[in-house]
Amino acid sequence: MPAPESFPIDKIHVPDRKRKALKPEAVEELAESILEAGQREPILIRREKDHFVLVEGLHRLEACKALGEPAIKGRLISAEEARLRELPPPPPDPEREKMERLRKLRLEKEEAEKLAAAARGGSAAHAATRARGSADTTSRTGRAGAAKPARAAAAAPKTLSDGIKQQERSGGRY
């Protein structure tokens, strides 16, 4: 890139479409900054017959005009470079955007599954603890107190034949 040079402000033409983007408050701020520290960043211009055309630096140019400067620091670029700078940025790649959306959806789904699993795990553990606790403290009649067996079991059989008879009565296999 060529070194910055000094160009006469009155020889620089500003295209109408660029002039529409002018913000007076930005010009005032830049003018104050230029008074304090000088012009730090050169403008970009291209040559066209007997004058120059502004490519970049509208607010810097207007700030220098407002300060009454006869010249401004700038860089001269070719018309081809100017066209490349004025082109809009390339459109986003639809395939890349689609992949990004899918990735976000997958991450959201995984997060939702983790939360659901944690909630299920927490409620299942809570329900199991609650069920164990209620079985230990209530009887069949629903009264709280010491644990009582659901069926009044007879005393454990003393002999093998007593055990077989007891199972036959209850319908079990021996």
Percent of the chain having pLDDT more than 70? 75
> Does the pLDDT at position 136 exceed 70?
no
Q: What is the pLDDT of residues 21-45, one digit of tens each?
A: 889 999 999 999 999 998 999 999 9
Better-predicted residue by pLDDT, 123 or 35: 35
Vertex 115, ends 113 and 116: CA angle to 5°?
Answer: 65
> Does the pLDDT at position 74 exceed 90?
yes
Tell me if 2 sits within 8 A of 46, measured CB to CB. no
Averaged pLDDT for residues 152-171: 76
Tell how far CA 122 is from the center of its chain: 29
Better-predicted residue by pLDDT, 130 or 39: 39
Using a cut of 0.85, tell me whether the model's pTM lies above it.
Answer: no
Q: What does the DSSP 8-state code read for residue 7? A: E
> Does the pLDDT at position 151 exceed 90?
no
> Does the pLDDT at position 140 exceed 70?
no
Element (H, E) at 105: helix 94-137
Nearest to 17 by CA among 55, 46, 65: 55
Tell me if 109 sits within 8 A of 117, measured CB to CB. no
